[in-house]
Structure 1
């Protein structure tokens, strides 16, 4: 499956489940990646990285995040540190929570600040994802295969839900 096909299926899933559920899912996937990195298991790290990459794409789409800001911030990192890796993998969770609080307060200025915070956190995160690929000798093809499998599995789950609901 091509990257474009993976992305198309992934964004359909994002639309199906919606922002709130997918923000929850994103934080769960970040926690699972942190656990995999702590275990130092390359296969588990690859699987969880694929999940996080899928969710990053969904957050970019559902929140209309600025991909240029994310890329610029990701490219700004030169040195990576194993200890700091955990911090940068967890940082988007804090930004998601800021965004939720801003939405509860119906504050546009706080929401914009929270979105920028999330863009910067995802920039850091993607920089560390690239670092983890090298650190654990994971191939881009391996990540693509896992993502392909996962988005197809989600598509199948959505189809089953729709059939069960009578749609």
Structure 2
């Protein structure tokens, strides 16, 4: 099913305040949980869970967005792999480097943390901006998805506690 087969009159829009209420409730619950169980952040479980959940939601959202384009199934698969394989490799390399202490102060004479954050953006942004398929994908995705992607920042509340 693609977006052209469903009329806008068939799907009732969900009020924005309802989504905001869920986000506020979830943020409150997460902050309370981190505050009530101080050993939880030290265990590394929240960081692992957040990373895996964000990665999975990005992969799922990318696939669902690709389904709303006019691409053939092989084009969807190729586009999904072209985005997710480098993204997964970057996540795995940086996560491994972090576990091994590569980003600690004084671990290297090179600024590895800024390089790990900026180098993928510097390399990938021109490639993605020149891609017609990525442009069509972004045109097909609802703008709310791109905004909702930032929901994972709620998990940053553990550092406020």
Normalised by the length of structure 1, the TM-score is 0.39
Q: Which has the higher contact order (CA 8 A, sep 6+)?
A: 2
